[in-house]
């Protein structure tokens, strides 16, 4: 990947970290950490949002085969509601890096917030489109979460999770109004929070 961005670290044990699922109304927030193998380059790594689902699936397989190591972690809906989405995301990132089979020498995190840990590293704005290891992490996280949301669509039919992956589309919001929130909806997110509060007042 050609980029004008230069990390402060240029060794081999660089872990890239990214998350998927901060914005949706339902489902876990999923994170991934990847240490790529310089001897086994992967062509086509990019921001997962800019790739087709088919290409993401293909690259996900290659990343798992060729990376020195990779790890996928998450924070649950319950943790999101208990701690807030930012703190839950930071927790999930820590879990992802801690889950790597090889301890990284440096960690590059997509965005502008570094989790509270003892790893040396830096944040990179739009890093998923600049740093290959972050791109790889974004792809693994998105493929994992998207696949899970498709499975949850079968478990909780009617919401359309396989189509919108839990994001607040009109179809999704209309389904919540009609069916009510499911167990995988984030109760601290609007409009679900207000809806549940209104129902509780009605019962009282």
Q: 14-155 sits in which CATH class? A: alpha beta
Pairing, β 106-110 against β 121-124:
parallel
Q: Is 36 exposed, middle or buried (0-12, 13-18, 19+ CB in 10 A)?
A: buried
> In this structure, what token pair is assigned to residue 50?
């800019």
Largest Cα–Cα distance of the chain, in whole Å? 64
| Chain length of the chain | 204
Kindly report the pTM of this predicted structure.
Answer: 0.93
How far is it, in rounded angstroms, from Cα 153 to Cα 7? 40
For 49, phi then psi, to 5°, come to -70, -20
Compute the Cα dihedral for 22, 19, 101, 106 and give only its sign: negative
> In this structure, what token pair is assigned to residue 36?
């790529």
Residue 171's closest CA among 161, 181, 180? 161
Q: Could you state, in order of their start, the residue ranges of all structural domains in the chain? A: 14-155
Per-residue pLDDT of the chain (204 residues; tens, 9 = 90+): 445 466 777 777 999 999 999 999 999 999 999 999 999 999 999 999 999 999 999 999 999 999 999 999 999 999 999 999 999 999 999 999 999 999 999 999 999 999 999 999 999 999 999 999 999 999 999 999 999 999 999 999 999 999 999 999 999 999 999 999 999 999 999 999 999 988 775 543
Q: Decide: 121 and 16 in contact? Cβ < 8 Å.
A: no
> In this structure, what token pair is assigned to residue 134?
């972050």
């Amino acid at each position: 990947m050609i980029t004008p961005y230069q990390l402060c670290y240029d060794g081999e044990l660089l872990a890239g970290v990214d998350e998927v699922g901060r914005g949706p109304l339902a489902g876990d927030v999923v994170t991934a950490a990847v240490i790529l193998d310089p001897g086994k380059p992967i062509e086509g790594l990019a921001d997962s949002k800019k790739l087709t689902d088919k290409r993401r699936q293909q690259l996900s397989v290659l990343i798992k085969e060729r990376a020195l190591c990779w790890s996928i972690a998450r924070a649950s809906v319950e943790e999101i509601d208990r701690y807030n989405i930012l703190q839950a995301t930071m927790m999930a990132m820590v879990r992802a890096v801690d889950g790597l089979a090889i301890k990284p020498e440096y960690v590059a995190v997509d965005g502008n917030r570094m989790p509270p840990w003892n790893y040396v590293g830096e944040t990179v704005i739009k890093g998923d489109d600049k740093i290959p290891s972050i791109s790889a992490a974004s792809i693994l996280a998105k493929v994992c979460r998207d696949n899970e949301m498709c499975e949850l669509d079968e478990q909780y039919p009617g919401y359309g999770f396989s189509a919108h992956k839990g994001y607040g589309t009109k179809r999704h919001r209309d389904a919540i109004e009609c069916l009510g929130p499911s167990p995988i909806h984030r109760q601290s997110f609007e409009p679900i929070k207000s809806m549940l509060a209104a129902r509780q007042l009605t019962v009282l």
